[in-house]
Amino acid sequence: MESLLATAAADPAFSNFQVQSYGSLLLPDHPIRFGFQVDIVPDQCPSSILFGLISRDPVNGGKAKTSGFAVRVDLEMREVWDVLNGSGLVGWVEHPDGLAGFTDEEPLLLGWEIEYHGQALIPKLVVADQQWLYPAIQCPHPVVMETVIGWQGEWGNDPRNTFLHPALWREHLPVFNTQEPEAIAA
């Protein structure tokens, strides 16, 4: 089976990026919380990087559409831009010492944390110590979410030395019984 990332690379949102994946996750038929995170050291990175969790679904038997969540982090301007859902500028990378404040010992964390309930994906983006809530999207079941990391242009470094500690994780969410307990007979 061809990687979701291989087909997503043709998507206009990713056309200027060299992309790679650190794994995928098939969403189950029950609520879960899952995410993808990676550390970077800005002075060891290209100036513009891509970070996300995506899926590809055929639309009415036609071409597959990329959905999910992905941002472009412009390290020169310290801006975080949405690339898939039309949200525009999401925010800025903040640190009292600027980007120099992120080092090998204290790298810049990029993370997506997503709750999956019914057919809704409810995301939160984490950049350093900042968090942004994102609009939820609807997804069909079953769906596979794939991690994506990318960079613009030619870049000679090994991505494994730049995108540090990649982790794709998941945890079950409690399922609450919505039925009223039966009355105790006296």
φ/ψ of 13, rounded to 5, equals -65, -25
Is this model's pTM higher than 0.75 or not? yes
Q: Per-residue pLDDT tens for 117-132?
A: 988 999 999 999 999 9
Going by pLDDT thresholds of 50, 70 and 90, the confidence category of residue 1 is very low
CB atoms near residue 101 (< 10 Å):
14
Q: Is the pLDDT of residue 59 over 60?
A: no
Q: Per-residue pLDDT tens for 93-118?
A: 988 888 989 998 999 999 999 999 98
SS3 147: strand
Show the domains of the chain with their CATH numbers.
4-172 (2.60.120)
Going by pLDDT thresholds of 50, 70 and 90, the confidence category of residue 182 is low
